[in-house]
A and B are shown apart, each in its own frame.
Chain A
């Protein structure tokens, strides 16, 4: 094989099963794994299913497992691997496969719909005021591109399939972002423990490691949320204060999700005709 060739070993199949197939194509300088897939589509397998959009690490569509690691195909350079190393791509393991490299990630969209919306107080004359230093930490969480690589690598979701109990790192930081928002008026702590399963995370930080946006998911998002839960429910002083009526003045989050939101119709589960 010449040095300008590269072999892609891609998982081909659907929910019923599948297998790896190998394709060898010409490659050029600076190419990323997504380029390799596009070359294979052009030359050998036009129907190889693979999601992508921006090709610049900004949309989080081309998530897959590359040589065993959850990664964005558009940000993974071929030069990071030995020249003769085969590139193996397979769909995210934590979610049901649709076809080839595309998985059904609709569960994530349903989790988002369970989270009470941002609920600020009335806007004052001249606009809301927030200091930059007070929004720095939530801006970090808002960098999330919803690639779901953190969800894919989370043991609770990936190995134990406890999607019924834990919303996963992506939505823990979504909740953290709302909870830490200077203008939000909703109390999200009880629901974080009871409905979103904050206790399931055992802070192994795998999610942080795979985040392409380098968000400190565990340290800056999940651990502070766990601490708030502990303070609320397990700190004797807080418990006493709450009993005396001196606790949170915020509205409980369950009251805020008044009408059950219509979940985004997941790929595959088409809404019935009216």
Chain B
């Protein structure tokens, strides 16, 4: 039975922003500042987006905690952390613009922790040469989202809460809007706009152990992919080294890197501080090699090098995994993370939510005893391919920013670079949308009812069919398969098996049944999410299979170590004309000489001002 399109509610804006985390809100604020009528849709209530989960801080070379810091160091750290697979221009813009984005937040009401001089304080984090993360205890993401939310409330933005995206509409090549549905009523809504900005986050819910919430089902990646945009770097999925491992119900919940930034020590079941045994040659010159030196660093000795616990996330996650595999794990299959050597009041002040999280969920007092931690799927470096300056995708008028976009982080993201990413590129996406609307003379794209009908038919199918499989069960199977086949360590056999599984899951997803009505029905939502999960999972496996090397977060048992040749390529994924997924190696452009010099410089060269 067809739906009468004219009966469907229509909302029109100049710009439609999809997602209300840090990137979406920052984009919307910028659009509104540029005089555009701006609407934001979000799946949850305003202020609940995944950004609230960010704990450690936002990286920006403010130079408050160490005046030696500058954009060049931040840029160099980001490129090295990303194993030189980042988009050079994005890493440059990010390092240069992050400080002003942070100061601007303070103008809007954010209250960061202070230095002794009363400036924004900065903390140490993995892979960052200097203390660089503006933070508020271990709840920086909450501070960021609440600040943007309160700013947005007075910026004339229309927020449409608990509204999920179903599919993009196009007018010829360009984007024309999105079909969505109100979770509360199950009614459909046409959101027409001259430009659409995706800020939809990641897709960690395709894995079993993850720090991601139910929202992380690859919605933006899915809709962009079907609309003809490209995905890039999908093989790079970040496993955060420290998630909770016990009790089972909280397995995967994030334990902030801030614990290690504040001096937290990793030990195995033999009591050995094992990270000293995993320092890769390229970081050896910048990493402490004795416990004595690591302690001096913690006590503020500027000549001392950083403890190995603060190596980049990919290195630490693999090391923990290996320790457990070698039989030196903790009772519940993790390792020990200990901060109890620091003053109890200090720990409670700097890591209050960690203290409560362990106390209330695991009955562990982290000021007295070690935590048990292990790797958890945390972040997707890959996502929708965008232009570095404007954030526009291959589809004219469609923009992407934040986690759903690719490019800034390359093969591995540094902690703290996500919150600053949201701010820098959220704003840039807003400016990009403004420019696009001007170039197209403010014309509202036409509506093609056939496209709407097609999306509605797809969305209604799980409700309409007589019987079918339970979508929750299928989702669990996807997660189990990805964890088994496309986990921290990968090989050709596993990834091929994963791809094979996914083909079967795709067929089964076409026959799931959501019982009940369309009103606030989580089973229906679960059924609709399967397509995005399967697309993102398949893209990860296919790109991972093609990349025959280990780089950053992509670790292959059958191809260990970086291969120089592969440093020249990013892997791009698109939907082929026949509907099948196409995977392509795309050669990277040579960077400007100046940037290359900065990125490859030694610390001494940068510190002496020679570069």
B154 on the A face (CB < 8 A): yes
Closest to B190 in A: A273
Q: Is A47's CB under 8 angstroms from B247's CB?
A: no
A160 on the B face (CB < 8 A): no
Interface centre among B109, B214, B517, B519 (most CB of A within 10 A): B109
Q: Is A129's CB under 8 angstroms from B117's CB?
A: yes
B45: chain A residues within 8 A (beta carbon):
51, 61, 105, 267
Q: Is B118's CB under 8 angstroms from A131's CB?
A: yes
- The digit string for B212-229, where 1 denotes a CB below 8 A from any CB of A, is 011100000000000000
B129 on the A face (CB < 8 A): no
A257-B154 Cα distance, complex, nearest whole Å: 8
B253: chain A residues within 8 A (beta carbon):
55-56
Looking at the assembled complex, report how far the CB atom of B131 sits from the nearest CB atom of chain A, in whole angstroms: 16
Binds A, one of B155-163, B271-279, B573-581: B155-163
A118-B148 Cα distance, complex, nearest whole Å: 12
Q: Is A142's CB under 8 angstroms from B247's CB?
A: no
Cβ-neighbour of A112 out of B11, B153, B249 (below 8 A): B153
Q: Is A127's CB under 8 angstroms from B161's CB?
A: no
A75-B359 Cα distance, complex, nearest whole Å: 11
A30: chain B residues within 8 A (beta carbon):
246-250, 361-362
A117-B515 Cα distance, complex, nearest whole Å: 44
Looking at the assembled complex, report how far the CB atom of A36 sits from the nearest CB atom of chain B, in whole angstroms: 10
A267: chain B residues within 8 A (beta carbon):
45, 161-162, 182-184
B10 on the A face (CB < 8 A): yes
B296 on the A face (CB < 8 A): no
Q: Is B361's CB under 8 angstroms from A54's CB?
A: no
- The digit string for A19-56, where 1 denotes a CB below 8 A from any CB of B, is 00000000011111001000001100011111111111
Looking at the assembled complex, report how far the CB atom of B283 sits from the nearest CB atom of chain A, in whole angstroms: 31
Q: Is B111's CB under 8 angstroms from A57's CB?
A: no
Looking at the assembled complex, report how far the CB atom of A212 sits from the nearest CB atom of chain B, in whole angstroms: 9
Looking at the assembled complex, report how far the CB atom of A217 sits from the nearest CB atom of chain B, in whole angstroms: 16
Binds B, one of A94-102, A188-196, A200-208, A246-254: A94-102
A50-B525 Cα distance, complex, nearest whole Å: 12
Looking at the assembled complex, report how far the CB atom of A41 sits from the nearest CB atom of chain B, in whole angstroms: 6
Interface centre among A77, A214, A257, A270 (most CB of B within 10 A): A270
A123 on the B face (CB < 8 A): yes
Closest to A75 in B: B360
A259 on the B face (CB < 8 A): yes
B543 on the A face (CB < 8 A): no
Q: Is B107's CB under 8 angstroms from A59's CB?
A: no
Q: Is A268's CB under 8 angstroms from B249's CB?
A: no
Closest to A52 in B: B214
Q: Is B515's CB under 8 angstroms from A109's CB?
A: no
Closest to B10 in A: A273
A53: chain B residues within 8 A (beta carbon):
44, 48-50, 52, 213-215
Interface residue tally on A, bucketed by range:
35 or more
B174 on the A face (CB < 8 A): no
Looking at the assembled complex, report how far the CB atom of A25 sits from the nearest CB atom of chain B, in whole angstroms: 13
Q: Is B161's CB under 8 angstroms from A181's CB?
A: no
Binds B, one of A3-11, A132-140, A219-227, A229-237: A132-140
> Would A46 and B111 be within 8 Å (CB), given that A112-B150, A129-B117 are in contact?
no
Q: Is A266's CB under 8 angstroms from B356's CB?
A: no
> Would A41 and B472 be within 8 Å (CB), given that A57-B357, A117-B150, A131-B114 are in contact?
yes
Cβ-neighbour of A139 out of B111, B150, B246 (below 8 A): B111
B246: chain A residues within 8 A (beta carbon):
30
Q: Is B515's CB under 8 angstroms from A142's CB?
A: no
- The digit string for B46-57, where 1 denotes a CB below 8 A from any CB of A, is 111110110000
Cβ-neighbour of A118 out of B109, B156, B213 (below 8 A): B109
A257-B156 Cα distance, complex, nearest whole Å: 12
Q: Is A58's CB under 8 angstroms from B107's CB?
A: no
Closest to A129 in B: B118
A240 on the B face (CB < 8 A): no
A266: chain B residues within 8 A (beta carbon):
161
A146 on the B face (CB < 8 A): yes
A6-B416 Cα distance, complex, nearest whole Å: 41
B514 on the A face (CB < 8 A): yes
A197-B108 Cα distance, complex, nearest whole Å: 26
A181: chain B residues within 8 A (beta carbon):
109, 111
B521: chain A residues within 8 A (beta carbon):
46-47, 49
> Would A61 and B48 be within 8 Å (CB), given that A138-B111, A268-B184, A274-B11 are in contact?
yes
A75: chain B residues within 8 A (beta carbon):
360-361
A99-B109 Cα distance, complex, nearest whole Å: 35
Looking at the assembled complex, report how far the CB atom of A156 sits from the nearest CB atom of chain B, in whole angstroms: 23
> Would A130 and B11 be within 8 Å (CB), given that A49-B522, A59-B53, A102-B520 are in contact?
no
Looking at the assembled complex, report how far the CB atom of B112 sits from the nearest CB atom of chain A, in whole angstroms: 9
A31-B182 Cα distance, complex, nearest whole Å: 31
Q: Is B103's CB under 8 angstroms from A135's CB?
A: no
Closest to B472 in A: A42
B357: chain A residues within 8 A (beta carbon):
56-57
From 103 to 155 in chain A, residues with beta carbon under 8 angstroms from any chain B beta carbon are: 105-106, 109, 112-113, 117-118, 120, 123, 126-132, 135, 138-139, 142-146
A residues touching B (Cβ–Cβ < 8 Å)? 14, 28-32, 35, 41-42, 46-61, 75, 77, 98-100, 102, 105-106, 109, 112-113, 117-118, 120, 123, 126-132, 135, 138-139, 142-146, 178, 181, 214, 257, 259, 261-262, 264-268, 270-271, 273-274
B residues touching A (Cβ–Cβ < 8 Å)? 9-12, 44-50, 52-53, 62, 64, 103, 106-109, 111, 113-114, 117-120, 136-137, 139, 141-143, 146, 150-151, 153-154, 156-162, 182-185, 187, 189, 213-215, 246-250, 253-254, 352-353, 356-357, 360-362, 470-473, 514-517, 519-524, 526
17 A-B residue pairings within 8 Å (CB atoms): A41-B522, A47-B515, A47-B521, A51-B44, A54-B53, A98-B184, A106-B161, A109-B153, A109-B161, A117-B154, A118-B109, A126-B119, A127-B103, A142-B146, A181-B109, A257-B154, A265-B159
Beyond known contacts A51-B45, A56-B357, A270-B9: 10 more, CB 8 A cutoff: A58-B141, A61-B45, A109-B161, A118-B150, A139-B113, A142-B146, A181-B111, A257-B154, A271-B11, A274-B10
Top 3 nearest A-B pairs (CB, nearest first) are: A30-B247, A47-B516, A46-B523
